[in-house]
Structure 1
Amino acid sequence: MISGNILRDAIISGANNINNQRSRVDELNVFPVPDGDTGTNMGMTVGSAVRELEALDDSCTVGEAAKTAASAMLRGARGNSGVITSLLFRGFSKALEGKKEADVADIVAALQKGVEGAYKAVMKPTEGTILTVARVASEEAAASDAADVPALWDVVLTAGQKALDDTPNLLPVLKKAGVVDAGGQGIMVIFEGMGKVFHGEAIIAGGEAAPNKAKLSTENAGKGVFTDDLMKVEDITNGYCTQFLINKYEGASAAKMRAFAESNGDSVVCIEDDDVINLHVHTADPGKILSEAIKYGYL
């Protein structure tokens, strides 16, 4: 069993680990567009929960820790990868709601709910990305006979790393660039940080330069977003990464807002809770998206 303060510290450790390595993850970013911000976005997303988690007392439950993290990440989510990351942690909030402690079955359920929510929220789920890494890790965790949470997390890390290493075989643009998926690498960095605490080690400190664990291969290794022939600017039809929070009016429909975004852009990811919708879209006309958004609440 793990207590609330252990889950709290694990998420903080994961946040610090991704922020320590964000620039190295940024360098892997070639999909869906090579804009070099995956590590930064994921770091900002998980990092948005740190202050609120640190404010929790050691007597907090796993349900309280998970809810606090998920709520903060929804509001702090940045970019495609960040929103997906927040959805993975929202699964923890749903599965652990009302629970004081969490056992192996609870963590498996948390991973499964996170993956399910992430796949549903993404406009066009693509294999060879963070989605694949999280899904394979979740499936292997569910199939394992781990006796406790630390052992289960070892299964998550092993399965996730294997899936990460395979991402270039699933997504040709990654193989061409000689890199693994940036979002997949980012979630593994977060999971590694969490694993330290699950195994009884100290929280990974923030602001430290971590060893480069980014997986690179071929003669293009290290070029990442700087590989000139990956994508030309003129090939990008929806050139404006547009993201905002809608503080919902009563009866506001996230499904309708998402449908509008999907008909006027791509890379759509939409999540909500009782009060807020967080929408991410790549579009050719941000004004059109924003004008529609104000029908559902204030931005």
Structure 2
Amino acid sequence: MFFELAVVAAAATDGAPSSVLADARAIVIGVPRPDDTGGSPRLDVYVAAGHGSIFEFGKLTPAAVSLGFRGATPATVVGAPPGSIAKVDSSGSPPVVSILRISPAGLPASGRLCTVTFAAGSAQGVIEIAYDRPESTWVEVGASASATRVSFATGNGPGFVVLSGRDRERQVRIFAQLDHVRSLQLAFNGPAAGERALVRPRSSYTTSKQTQISAFSGGRRIGWGCFSPPFMIPSGEVLGVLTFSVPFSLHHFDLASSDALVESKAFKPLEMVIVDGGGAFLGGDEVALHAHDEL
């Protein structure tokens, strides 16, 4: 089966950036599409940039993106922003897709950068973005003359938390380099249980692939896990809902707390980045997002 996972990276600044972009971060997510084009796999690429490891979507606009791939050879790029230049270089290892000269007006409100198609039959397993290859996979933020290039975390890899919704309610997704993580736990600057709770989780949630996810809370933390085989949380799917008792703000989250944790399949902590997409970035139903495609 093609595209059994969605992938992401949390970026760290590479080089000597300007003071304005000294804390620039970027994320790139590959969202799999149904194999409905005669066996040619497709991957929707979403990108977002901001300041620090917890940011709101739309505050910074990427100027260029480059992605190296493993497990499949990219064939074409569809739907790149107007005015940008899309290139496919299959000669190297890994093969690279690049989107250059992205104008601020050209990036879609959803953050969806483009769709990458792959040669039929070229992906018999998992398609991966080569986040550990900074020469192939990177994001540039800022004007072309003074752009800051961010390259992606290595080590245990990233765990990217996407919040989607409006007002005081947020859906929660986790994206990682592999198809599942062991668990996710968020920490807050206020109680997550009791009568004066700042935020409460929905106690259980069934994902689109019928995985039952349970939420648990105590003190200033809320966690999610799966307590039946395979005892893991799927990457890329909504796994729960948070409801806040006060107006939503990213200041409610405590990323510095030791309770903030994404645990990999190998029981290792991943680097957490939180992005609030509101009702824009990855918000709403994926089918609705795809309804405007012209592939």
TM-score by length of 2: 0.28
Question: Which structure's residues are more often strand, by fraction?
Answer: 2
Greater fraction of residues in helix: 1
